[in-house]
Amino acid sequence: MCTGRIDLAFILRAFSNGADGVFIGGCWPGECHYITEGNYLALSGMHLCRKLLELVGVNPERLRLDWISASEGNRFAEVLNDFSKKLKELGPLGKGEGVSEKGLKSKLEAVTKLIPYIKLVERERMRVPVKSEGEYNKFFTSDEFDRLFKELIVEKLEISQIMNLLREKPRSTGEISEILGISPSEISRYVNDSARQGLVRFDERQNLIAAAM
């Protein structure tokens, strides 16, 4: 399968199911077997997914992409052995980062629900015009990418995480903050914005926030 067909959902599903790491091996840039040059799509997706993982508290080094041709059996073994060693150093998913199992599950579910929007943003605002590994790496480590990521994705993801928890049951600001690791002041701001949009309601008697029915 061409690496260009590896969807963000596949990677996030693996982590949601408890995988300690995800490895993607693809053809070298310029040697794609398809006219789509899918390895550049994979490179873009890897950078974006690592940024998303970092945002939800997962060490981005748990996701790795390497170029390996069919004739490089020895290199393939070396790369996988190196990745396996790295995962042992990082420890089990979540525990190695000090993130609770419940909090991590909720965060990954929230990211997964935003995938259609994230893919649209990537296609419309984060495409690199030049097919060059250097240009891709340069863009996805630039201040411009950080600005776009914060402006277009971060806030929507944090609201998605909050709504994900509130759909389970009403919760207090403090409880949401503790699970997600977002400051109470930020939770209040997001909740107030969501309330104006009719997405949440306040139960002042119990001092809880609930998803609007």
- For residues 197 and 191, give the distance between their C-alpha atoms in angstroms, rounded to a whole number: 10
The tens digit of pLDDT for each residue in 81-123 reads 999 999 999 999 999 998 888 888 888 998 999 999 999 999 9
Burial 110-121 (b: 16+ CB within 10 A, else e): bbbebeeebeeb
pLDDT at position 35: 67
Q: Which amino acid, residue 84?
A: S
pLDDT at res. 33: 73
CA distance readout (Å), 135 to 40, 52, 125, 169: 11, 20, 15, 45
Residue predicted with more confidence, 5 or 50: 50
Contact between 180 and 161 under an 8 Å Cβ cutoff? The reply is: yes
Residue 49 pLDDT > 90:
yes
State what percent of residues in the chain have pLDDT above 90.
58
Confidence of residue 26 (pLDDT cuts 50, 70, 90): confident
pLDDT band at 67 (very low <50, low <70, confident <90, very high): very high
Residue 54: its H or E element: helix 38-55
Average pLDDT taken over every residue of the chain: 90
DSSP for residue 153:
I
Q: What is the mean pLDDT of residues 178-201?
A: 89
The whole model's pTM is what? 0.85
